[in-house]
Amino acid sequence: MSQGVSMAGSFSFPNTSLNVNRMGYGAMQLAGRDGNKLVWGPPADVKGAIAVLHEAIASGVNHIDTSDFYGPHVTNQIIREALHPYATNLVIVTKVSSRRGQDGSWIPALSREELTAAVHDNLRNLGVDALDVVNLRSMFNVHHPAEGSIEAPLTVLAELQQKGLIRHIGLSNVTPAQIAEGRRIVPIVCVQNQYNLAHRADDALVADLAREGIAYVPFFPLGGFTPLQSGTLSAVASRLDATPMQVALAWLLHRSPNILVIPGTSSLNHLRENLKAAELEIPAEELAELDAVSK
């Protein structure tokens, strides 16, 4: 295992036996693209995708974020081909609440039947008897958190947890009020929202969850389909002899001990660059500059 990945530290999901290195991997980019359909179909290089997963695990990554609606089905099938049978310390986190239209759209799928089918799809394509963590993604707004009760779909997941199909439950794309509602229904081990150096709406939420020992997992840690761009970020990266993306990931790791990062890539070179962020120390003066980027 690479010492570098472990230098970011580890995190134990609350009231579980699950412990992960804080530098993880997001599998979304393992799926392909068909014209304007993003995260759609198989990748152009399946062997290359498998090689990325092999190297991530060999480097010490033991937290993979995925979903069966990536592809759809593609990323989970590649994960299974590459890594099954899974190492005992590997934690695979998936998410439900959406299905894909033939035009590549993301369609809410929150009925009891749809959620149950989604859990069984994840089980089958990952090749497991129970899912480590399932995140319920709120779909009141596809792009950002919006208020609305999550009681009905979360109750379905809680019932599937009681049946032994899900070990632990998290939330995604949610507001603080929805997190509070969710915690009244079932223990919540992680929250996954959009958050990065330039998108800081959840600053207070990160701190609140840290006090509760709940993991905060930023999606789009590097800006997603529109990579982060900042003169300050570039200047700090130059002074630290690092890439801007490495600095952006290292800033997240410095931001709070409950933050787990899951940068995704289908490139071995980009994977190696991302993982090196775990070793990057950012001096206090530079941290202050970066903290001010979104203000």
User: Does residue 54 contact residue 79 with C-beta atoms inside 8 Å?
Assistant: no
The CA-atom distances, in angstroms, between 57 and each of 73, 134, 148, 188, 258 are: 21, 21, 38, 26, 21
Tokens encoding 118: 């989604």
Sequence-ordered list of residues with C-beta below 8 angstroms from that of 166, at least 6 positions apart, any chain: 119, 130, 131, 133, 134, 157, 160
Sequence-ordered list of residues with C-beta below 8 angstroms from that of 253, at least 6 positions apart, any chain: 8, 9, 22, 23, 259, 261, 277, 278
Positive or negative, the Cα torsion across 20, 25, 30, 33? positive
Cα(261)–Cα(24) distance, integer angstroms: 6
Catalytic positions are 70
Cα(181)–Cα(114) distance, integer angstroms: 22
Tokens encoding 236: 């700090």
Cα(172)–Cα(106) distance, integer angstroms: 15
Q: What is the helix (H) or strand (E) element at residue 38, kind and residue range?
A: strand 37-38
Cα(253)–Cα(217) distance, integer angstroms: 11
φ/ψ of residue 72, rounded to 5: -70, 160
Cα(108)–Cα(95) distance, integer angstroms: 12
